[in-house]
Chains A and B, each alone.
Chain A
Amino acid sequence: MTMATPTSSTTTMLDDFLVRAALAGGGLAVATGPLGSFVVWRRMAYFGDATAHAAILGVALALLFSAPVTLGTLVVSLAMGGAVSWLSMRGHAMDSTLGVLSHSALALGLVAISFVPGVRVDLSAFLFGDILAVTRPDLVVIWGGAALVGGLLLWRWSRLLTATLSPDLAVASGISPAREQLVLTLALALVVALALKVVGALLIAAMLIIPASAARSLARTPEAMALGAIGVGIVAALGGLAASFYADTPAGPSVVAVAAAIFLVSALIRR
């Protein structure tokens, strides 16, 4: 980590690890806010968990084949998302199936990582994230991915919303619920790949569900809830980083803990 003397240029500002961490958290919130809203509306929480846990297997495979970690994560998460979508469309009882898939992927990934030769792998960085070690290339991946996910959801917004409200009404309007499900699966795999560095595989689902749930109580329209979730995500990222900086707590879990605190407050306001 190079700690340059602060001057007025952007380059040196990005040299500050805290600024990079804040930008990473903010970028992630832009993607998890709207996507997390769909995860809440469609009751896909376990679906998100399974996809995120599969990321560890992706990390292991990427290390074994000397491929970029983000690519490995993306491919395996996409495969898991596709498998789960396929099973749910065939009418499988999803609760236990998702539990089996989610934990199998996590266990297999942890076993596979132990086979990676040579360098000792910092497992906790993949499980809980390492937001303070985000590099400038990481920021490009996170913001690029967030823009991609945001753009994808914005493009399909009306169709996604109609299919979420009622698959029957969607079909009658000429919308294919299966195709919209595929869009969400793709977006979820992308978010998992870019969130791995920030909050880690175990807490990605938390960043999807908690900000969106916190925004629910004050929102009157789906759009307000998605934007509110982005806002909660950004505040949580900044608050978590501040806590981590001043109280020396682990950054990723601190971000999630702040989001949980906001959720608690919003739930109390609602009463």
Chain B
Amino acid sequence: MSLLTATDLSLSFGGQAVLEHVSIAIEPGEIVTLVGPNGSGKSTLVKTLIGLTAPDAGRITRKPGLRLGYVPQKLPIDATLPMTVARFLNLPKRQPKPQIAQALADTGSQGLEQKQLSALSGGQLQRVVLARALLSEPELLILDEPTQGLDQPGEAAFYQLLERIRDARGCAVFMVSHDLHVVMSASDRVICLNHHVCCEGTPHVVRDAPEYRALFGPGTGGALALYQHEHDHSHDDGHAHEQHHDHA
């Protein structure tokens, strides 16, 4: 059965429709990338799936006892709160030391245990938050724009890391990407959201083409791929999708 199923979700803020009849399902072990223009409701959809925001209409069904790991877009660290990485990884449940070391190693952040959270770089913090999510042995990892603020080699490295984690642990990954066209090449599915699900497909892997190398530069190791949008409808307001985001 699906890990998480959202059926016909609708939500509006102050009369503005943010989600309109959105239905998605996430299957065990698959990598799903969610793309969409700014303000298309991506983060709201994630918050709704996790239970941070209640939808106005629609239903969210979780597999009973689903273990979910969440990596938010940003973790604001208040300087008044002293917190080592080790202490953070023990929240809310104490974890055995070997598990903590393993989770840090799996995310390429070994040896950071005694560092203060506030002293980490953005990329380091991102990996530590991912390590914390791994400690709950998740069946589903949900990440909200995890590569925002990283350069392309950094983004590629993060995607390779996620792919290794998925392969080693078999967990499903549901990830929001800030880029409409460049997605993780290991994505099993890409869903394009613009308040409603516009299109869904697989990434276009062109790793051997010389144009691809020119586009992404060296050092991305095939972790990035293009996503070709196939919109066959236009919106009620008369705008075709092409006007929102032209194809690469």
B44 CB → nearest A CB, Å: 13
In the complex, the answer to whether B82 meets A175 with C-beta atoms within 8 Å is no
Beyond A171-B52, A222-B83, whether A158 also contacts B72 by CB under 8 A is: no
CB interface residues, A 166-218, toward B, < 8 Å: 166, 168-173, 175, 213, 216
In the complex, the answer to whether B91 meets A158 with C-beta atoms within 8 Å is yes
CB interface residues, B 186-206, toward A, < 8 Å: none
Q: Check A125 for interface membership: any CB of B closer than 8 A.
A: no
B215 CB → nearest A CB, Å: 34
In the complex, the answer to whether A159 meets B52 with C-beta atoms within 8 Å is no
CB interface residues, B 52-106, toward A, < 8 Å: 52, 68-70, 72, 75-76, 78, 80-84, 87-88, 91-93
Closest-by-CB residue of A relative to B50 is: A172
CB neighbours (8 Å) of B87 from chain A are 221-222
In the complex, the answer to whether A171 meets B93 with C-beta atoms within 8 Å is no
Q: Check A164 for interface membership: any CB of B closer than 8 A.
A: yes
A45 CB → nearest B CB, Å: 11
Most buried by B among A161, A162, A172: A172
In the complex, the answer to whether A158 meets B92 with C-beta atoms within 8 Å is yes
CB neighbours (8 Å) of B81 from chain A are 41, 164-165, 222
Bound CA span A169–B132, Å: 10
B171 CB → nearest A CB, Å: 15
Q: Check A64 for interface membership: any CB of B closer than 8 A.
A: no
Q: Check B51 for interface membership: any CB of A closer than 8 A.
A: yes
Bound CA span A222–B84, Å: 9
B83 CB contact (under 8 Å) in A40, A159, A165, A171: A165
Interface residues of B (CB under 8 A from A): 47, 50-52, 68-70, 72, 75-76, 78, 80-84, 87-88, 91-93, 116, 132, 136, 142
Interface residues of A (CB under 8 A from B): 40-41, 43, 158-159, 161-162, 164-166, 168-173, 175, 213, 216, 219-222, 224-225
New A-B pairs, 17, CB < 8 Å, besides A168-B70, A168-B72, A221-B83: A41-B81, A158-B93, A165-B81, A169-B72, A169-B132, A170-B92, A171-B51, A172-B50, A172-B51, A172-B70, A216-B82, A219-B82, A221-B82, A221-B87, A222-B81, A222-B82, A222-B83
Q: 3 shortest A-B CB distances, which residue pairs?
A: A172-B70, A158-B92, A162-B92
